[in-house]
Amino acid sequence: MKISIVIPMYNAGTTINLLLDDLENQVSKNFEVVIVDDFSRDNSVHIVEHRLDKMRNVNLIKQPQNFGRSVARNEGLRLVTGDYVVFIDSDDRVSKFFISDFEALYNANPNSDLLITGWTNNLSAMKNRDIKFEADVLSRFELLNRSFLDKRVYYSIWNKAFRVGAILQTNTLFQEFVYAEDLAFIVDFVVRTNNFNATVNFDQVDYTWQVYDGNHVGMGSKTETNAIFEQNYKSMKYVFRRLFESDIEEKQVLINSIRYITLQHYVHYPNFRNRREFLKDFGGALRTKVSIVSKLRLIFNYLFGIKIERVLYAIYVGIKGK
């Protein structure tokens, strides 16, 4: 089993070397890397080119202009030759077991359409747990619902290896959304794949999302946050539609879960939707199977806004950054 890694790159001169170090130090060498440079204006391309002679499994593709990360990922998908494909952001890090842990999941279930390991971020204390390897198999509904509500699974593509054959068969591509394009990709892939199943082991924490001031959605000015909301809600409506059109019996549960995670971040911006639509989303969100504390927090944020919460988070990021 061979894994392909697709890395969209844009102005990653300060981070790409560290990621390439991580990939060069992998325990398993059975993988290829496709880096798609999205018309970087810094020294990113030079850094990668300098390492190509030593890292023969790395391919660099240069886009003629800046198209965005969805187009870059789709271009990478067109060129992969592996059995599974993993997507890594150019400013993140992976452990030396990143590839070998995916291989272990595959060996536990060679028919799996999706392989998932654990992830963390640079502000978290969550690390790899030294316990016996145990893999779980999830159905379509289980995978999607846990992607929406369980942060160990999460609705990002970071910690996931997708079966390339299923991607080609279902013609799944990244939509050109500014935000949440990875969530749309996951939902498209899962609902389109026949007899879908995923194999997971969250205790193997191999991917680290590098959180820093500037790449965390929702920390900008009101104007920036409003623009982010418009883009996020556009992609969320796409996901609503894909779930509604699916043949998943429990799709209403999934739709309510999407309503919950949308309102969790933007419940204090109801003016972007008509009142009737907002109340429908809010009612569905409150029917989601989350803790009563989470539901009370949603209500509190609707009534009073989340300015205090945003300030506290900014302080937390600042302290951890030091």
> What's the pLDDT tens digit per position in 153-206?
888 998 999 999 999 999 999 999 888 899 999 999 999 999 999 999 988 889
Tokens of 155: 């609705």
Model pLDDT, residue 172: 97
Task: Look at residue 217 and tell me whether its pLDDT is greater than 50.
Answer: no
How far is Cα 285 from Cα 196, in angstroms, rounded to an integer? 26
Q: What is the pTM of this model?
A: 0.87
DSSP 8-state secondary structure symbol assigned to residue 7? E
Model pLDDT, residue 154: 85
How far is Cα 124 from Cα 206, in angstroms, rounded to an integer? 13
Model pLDDT, residue 151: 84
Task: Look at residue 318 and tell me whether its pLDDT is greater than 80.
Answer: no
Q: Compute CA distances 126 → 15, 76, 211, 285, whole Å.
A: 22, 31, 14, 28
Mean pLDDT for 10-30 is: 96
Positions of E strands within the chain: 3-9, 31-37, 58-62, 84-87, 93-94, 114-121, 136-138, 160-163, 198-209
> What's the pLDDT tens digit per position in 53-92?
999 999 999 999 999 999 999 999 999 999 999 999 999 9
Model pLDDT, residue 215: 46
> What's the pLDDT tens digit per position in 255-306?
999 888 888 776 666 555 567 777 888 888 898 888 888 888 888 777 776 5
DSSP alpha helices (H): ranges in 80-116? 98-108
- Are 188 and 180 contacting, i.e. CB atoms less than 8 angstroms apart? no
How far is Cα 285 from Cα 274, in angstroms, rounded to an integer? 17
- Are 22 and 50 contacting, i.e. CB atoms less than 8 angstroms apart? no
Mean pLDDT for 225-233 is: 71
Q: Which residues contact 29 (CB under 8 A, 6 or more apart)?
A: 57, 99
